[in-house]
Structure formats: structure tokens, C-alpha cells
Structure 1
Amino acid sequence: MADVVGDLSSFSFETGLTDDEKKLLYLRARSAGLTFCGCAHAAFLCKLVHSLRSQTANRDSVASGEDGDLCVGILGLGHMGKQLLLSLLEKSGIKPSHIKISSRRPESAVKCIPAGVECFFDNRRLAAWADVLFLCCLPSHLPKVCADLRSHLAKRCLVYSFTSGVPVSRLAQLLGHNFIVKPQYDFIDGDSADVWLSCTHLTTALTDPLLIEASCPLTKSGGIFLGLNWVCAVLYSLLNICTSASLGSSDTLSLINSLLKDKWQHTAELNTRSFISASCASSLHTDEPFPWISLADAQTRDTPLLCFLSSSESMQQCISAAYKSLLQTPAKKTL
């Protein structure tokens, strides 16, 4: 059906705004861009973790269920929680039966969640079950949420926080947990930010190569920049997952490099000294796991990985290629 008011300027959103209000219209694009980037980056991380686990599924210490599939929890079903759920189902390849949601009003969520996704109100149950736990709650709810989660999170559970205004170091204190990723977005002025105005439907937008390119963590083309600290946290997450599985450092490096180099045929490669100091690397045997890395520290301090990535344009290109390839590859539909 044709839009009968499509050509009538008096029905447009901008009609009636003052000049000062029109100067703030860029916030619409920024809001849409933040939602898209947040969901796309979370889906990318889950695809990497899912792929890593699938390659080590025969190890009992990795598998949390009989099939070893990744278990993803979403705490909070507001705007961000709903958009994240759609993104993971569309892009990650994770089964609906392996996604659970804790919401204060689970009865009202029935109409907006797909079949197979379980929704309840029990933060502790969700924390004990999940391999990756997304925090999509309001900052005002965070102290109570953290009190619920504290002591119920397994060390191997990766917490990913979308809660604004709370730095990762504070979150680590509240949770008593250091396996946490907290994206920190920066904004760059420019006309390129208007690209996000096309994000009216997220699942459709996630198939747009232009938007995927604009959301790439190591580019600034979309006016929203994430940067190397987040990339370091993602790579250290993969390292910790292998460590929790008692995987030797040599096998760990081989797996992580294969996830990235499969998408970028180049000589760039991560090695032991890319992740840990030279003194630690020299004493680490190939069959010995990497030490556990505090992600809270990795996102707030200079690390060997940050130094390596900062000086390796080739590895940055490799990571960007992996990001775009993984998001542009349709997820296998599973039940």
C-alpha cells in the first residue's frame, strides 16, 4: 500500500521543530547507530566464541551442556534487550533453545520473543546457566542486579555490559568478577553519521554491507568508534575460554589465528608475546595454558596485546576483515 502522506512535508518528523531543536536531529542518527553497533558487535563476539567452542566441543571442560553449544543469557528486556535478542537470532547461529532471558515482567514478554526462547524472572538462575551473559538493565537497577548475580557467576561466564555510566572497574567490584567486557563508544563529528538513519528495522539493517562496514570497530566511517581496547577484550576473552578448557598455548594460538585468518589470507598472526609479556612468554611451555587474564584490567591498562595491535596495521586489517565476513555470512537457522 502506498504511503499517502509520504510527499507531504507537513507530516514529517521535523515539522514544527524550532531551529535550536533541529540542531539536535543528529541525535536520532546517533541513537540508531549505537543500537546497531551494540548489537552487531555483540553478535560478532558470540559468533567467535561459538566457533571457538565448536572446535573444542569434545572437551568436557568446555561444554556446558550435552551438545556443547553456547548458552547465552540476556538480563533485561527493554529496548536494547529486545534488539539484541533479534540480532543474536539473526546473526549468531545460536539456537533459540540456548538463549534465555530474565525480565522483571516475563508475562509481558510472551508476545515479543520467538518460540524456543525461555523468559523468566530469576537473575541467579540465569547467571548460573549462561556462558555469556548480557546486561541490558538500567543503571538505577544495576546495584540490585549485581547483588543478585554476585557469587552465582561461574569464572568462565563472560559478562557483557550495555549498562551506561558504569565503568568496567566498578562493575568488576560490584560483581566480584573480572571476566567482563564493557564497550566504550566515542563519537566523531561528520556527515557520515547520517548513514544510521536507514536503521529503521534492525534485522534488515544487519544484512546491509554499508552499515556493517560503518560499524566495524576499527574504522571511523560511521562516526561511532569503538577502538582497540574492545578488540583486546574480545581476543583476551577467547584466550580465557581456551585457558578454562586447559588448552595448551600452542593449540590456543592455532585456534584463535584460524578464526581470524580464515577471513584474511595474510601473514599477520598472533603469537605468545602478542598476549603476555616477553618474560612470561619465554617460560610458557607449548602444552601449558595461558594465564587467566583479567578483562577489567585489559580494558583499563596498557597490555602487550594493545601494544601489538597498535603497531600492526596488517593484524588490524585481518580483524576488520573477519568482522565484516562473519556478520555478512548468514547464520544457519537451527531450532
Structure 2
Amino acid sequence: MRKILSTWCSSEGGGGLEMDLLEDLESLQFEYGIQEEDCSWLYLQGRSRGLVIKACAHATFFCKLLCNLRESLREKHTSRCLLTGLLADTPNDDDDDELKVGIIGGGHLGKQLACALLQLVPIPAENLRISTRRPEALDEFQKLGIQCFYHNPYLVNWANLVFLCCLPSQLPTICLEIQACLEKGCIVYSFAAAVPIARLKLLLNHTNILRPQYQCVEDFVNIWGANKEITAALQDPATLQATCPYSSAGGIILNIKWLEGVFYAILNICTAKDMPHLQVLQHLNELFLSVHFEDCGKDGASCPKFQLGDFVNQVYTKNLSQKRPFPWFDLTAVQLKETPFSQQLSTSTALQDHLTLLYCDSFGISLTKKQQPVVSTGSPSQ
């Protein structure tokens, strides 16, 4: 009812300004009628909202990275073809270069994620599809041009990134349906918090899986708000900074192994294209370290740069010729074990600063070093 009245005021009588007619009606507030001894549990409402906001923010950031990478690869490919005069003979791979995103699950999280991807990446409606048991309940998305249906294998066969927004109890059945349709390079991104990534690997018979894990602390200041849509919340500087991968604001800490998995997922994309590792490192530097603070200097000599030894061990480095691509990485192992990149990602303040700046910049918010979120040193176990 609140949402209906708020929307009506916005479209009919508010002149474009959202009004909440229920704001001062105490008897219609969520907290009304709760026994005094149960009020101590109201913090869970803010925590739940914070988890959804962070989940959507990190998924959006990941999709932005993938879109930027694909655009960069397409531009460099076109430039090489123009220089060599082979453009006319090169097949049109535009469809393969587009990021195609599938969402399994059309509940609260699935809807919020779809809105964030559409508005904040932005992903074109024709490149986003949703599979849910009740596609008729997603009429507002279908009107936008998003295909909504109930056919999980079809969705997975089409997409190159699949978000699992289903209940943990539904996951075994869904995994059984889709495992035979998963291509090696398809990234599965799971929000099913109760299902460990090792279990997902077995259920899907797949290694290209990302699974963010969040740790909640008991004492926290609820900064997540109550009435804003997720997309609006992520355009608020204070809220967005609280979602930064290294931030512990709002009482929710992201396991930084997720960010490590993001890096290796991008390495896998380049490996699938048989790209020489030196060229891949150049793309990584452009993708992750292209945004700088004012005191970095014009030449950026003091800024971090990715090297081959950051991602593979020394023995492999010595035996890797310049034209060889990176090996294919098991993303589940990356998120469960230490890698050559683990220490640098968790201890290098220069790298953390640049990644935080890039994160905020990708949402259109500029930071100075004084505005950086508090860095979390916590690393919840898998």
C-alpha cells in the first residue's frame, strides 16, 4: 500500500516529487504493534536491506567490469584489423562480444538485481533474461523488453553470466537442470548464502563460479535507509561508499576473496580468447588501475602495476613463454585457498586505494583520499 500511494503521488499529484502519505501514520508503520521485548530484533530489518544493497552493488560492479573489458577487446580488435587491412575479411562477432546476463529467480532479490543491472550498468533489455516459476508476475520487466519465462536450461544455454537468485532449498534441483547446459566459460554467480561454494562446484560440475560471502557484526549503525529503491540508494554517495569492497560500514563485511575471484574470472575470459599473457596484463592495468588520485602524479609512476608473478607461482612464470595465455583457473579454488594474488590484494594499501576509487567512479561518484571508507581487515571464513 505504501508503494502504491507513493507512486501515485509521484505520477499524479506530486509534480515528480515522491511523497510518502504514510510517513506520519504511526499505526501503519512496520514497528507498530511489536512487543517491547521484541524491539531489539528490529535491527535485522536494516541488516537485511543492507545485504541486498551490497549484493546488488557488487554484482553491478562486476557486470560493469565485464562490459568494459568486452568493449576494450572489441576496440583493440577493430584497431588491429584496420592496421592490417583485414577488417573486411573479419567475421562480425558483435553478438559474441555482448554481455548476456541471465537471472534465475524472480523474487525480491532477482527483481532488485534486474533493476540495478538495467539502470546502473546499464545492460540493454534484450541482453537480460529472467527465468522464474512465475513469469506472469514480472509484467513490468516484460514491458521493458526483457524476456521472462520458466526454462532454466534455455536461459543458461543463452547467457554467459548467470545469477542464481533462488532459495537454497531450490538450488539442488536447479543445478541438476542446468549443469549439462553450462559452457566452460559461463560464469555462475550465486547469492545462495547457505550453500558453500565447494558444494556448488559439485552440484554444477562446474568451476567458473563466483559466490560473495558477507559477515555481519552485531553492533552497527544502520545507514541503509528504509524507503529508497536500491538503484536510488546506490546513487547516494554515503550509501555507495558503505558498499565498497574494503568497507565495513553498516555492519556488513565482504570477504575479499570475492574480489580475488573477480580478477581470476577476467583472466579466464582472456584465456578463452587465447590472448597472450602480456596482453592480458595490459588489459588488467587499463581495466582496474585507470582511475587515479590527484597526488598520483601525471606519469603514475607510484601507482601499482600488475605483473605475471601476481597471479601465478614462480615456477609457472619461468616456464611461460611471452605468447602463451594464462592457464585456466578454478574460481572455486581461488576463493577457498591462498593464491599468489591473495597477499597483495589484502595488504597493498596502494592497490586497495585504487580499487576503491575505481569502484566509486564506476557508479559516477568521485572520491578524494580523505573520503575513503574505513578499510576492513576482517576476512570471514568460507
Task: Determine if the alignment matches structure 1 residue 299 to structure 2 residue 328.
Answer: no
1:332 alignment partner in structure 2: none
SS in 2 for 1:66: helix
Of the three residues 181, 190, 195, the one matched with 1:166 is 195
1:263 alignment partner in structure 2: 291
Of the three residues 319, 324, 328, the one matched with 1:283 is 319
Q: Say how many residue pairs are matched.
A: 326
Q: Aligned runs of 1:170-209 on 2, under 5 Å? A: 170-192=199-221, 194-198=222-226, 200-209=228-237
Task: Determine if the alignment matches structure 1 residue 249 to structure 2 residue 277.
Answer: yes
Given residue 241 of structure 1, which amino acid in structure 2 is its aligned partner? I
Moved more, 78-87 or 5-14: 5-14
Given residue 126 of structure 1, which amino acid in structure 2 is its aligned partner? L
- Describe the shift of the 1:4–1:152 C-alpha distance in structure 2 as closer, same or farther (beyond 3 A): closer
- Describe the shift of the 1:198–1:268 C-alpha distance in structure 2 as closer, same or farther (beyond 3 A): farther
- Describe the shift of the 1:151–1:10 C-alpha distance in structure 2 as closer, same or farther (beyond 3 A): closer
SS in 2 for 1:276: coil
1:263-296 deviation line (CA, Å, top 9, x unaligned): 2255112211111111112222222110011010
Shift, 1:10, TM fit: 4.6
Contact 1:158-1:181 at 8 Å conserved across structures: yes
SS in 1 for 2:271: helix
Task: Determine if the alignment matches structure 1 residue 234 to structure 2 residue 262.
Answer: yes
- Describe the shift of the 1:40–1:141 C-alpha distance in structure 2 as closer, same or farther (beyond 3 A): same
Gapped runs of 5+ residues in structure 2?
Answer: 1-8, 10-18, 79-91, 297-302, 366-382
1:324 alignment partner in structure 2: 360
Shift, 1:3, TM fit: 5.3
Task: Determine if the alignment matches structure 1 residue 143 to structure 2 residue 172.
Answer: yes
- Describe the shift of the 1:4–1:108 C-alpha distance in structure 2 as closer, same or farther (beyond 3 A): closer
- Describe the shift of the 1:5–1:94 C-alpha distance in structure 2 as closer, same or farther (beyond 3 A): closer
Q: Alpha carbon RMSD of aligned pairs, Å?
A: 2.0
Counterpart-to-counterpart distance in 2, 1:207 and 1:22: 30
Of the three residues 93, 104, 128, the one matched with 1:99 is 128
1:140-197 deviation line (CA, Å, top 9, x unaligned): 11111001111211111010001121001100110010000011101123333x1012
Task: Determine if the alignment matches structure 1 residue 154 to structure 2 residue 154.
Answer: no
Shift, 1:252, TM fit: 0.6
1:333 alignment partner in structure 2: none
- Describe the shift of the 1:29–1:65 C-alpha distance in structure 2 as closer, same or farther (beyond 3 A): same
Shift, 1:311, TM fit: 2.5
Percent identity over the alignment?
37
- Describe the shift of the 1:7–1:273 C-alpha distance in structure 2 as closer, same or farther (beyond 3 A): same
Task: Determine if the alignment matches structure 1 residue 12 to structure 2 residue 48.
Answer: no
Shift, 1:54, TM fit: 1.2
Contact 1:188-1:220 at 8 Å conserved across structures: no
Given residue 261 of structure 1, which amino acid in structure 2 is its aligned partner? L
Counterpart-to-counterpart distance in 1, 2:113 and 2:248: 23
Given residue 324 of structure 1, which amino acid in structure 2 is its aligned partner? C
SS in 2 for 1:196: coil
Given residue 44 of structure 2, which amino acid in structure 1 is its aligned partner? L
With a CA cutoff of 8 Å and minimum separation of 6, indicate the structure with the bigger relative contact order: 1
Contact 2:276-2:324 at 8 Å conserved across structures: yes
Gapped runs of 5+ residues in structure 1?
Answer: 330-335
Given residue 118 of structure 1, which amino acid in structure 2 is its aligned partner? Q
Counterpart-to-counterpart distance in 2, 1:157 and 1:314: 32
Shift, 1:90, TM fit: 1.1
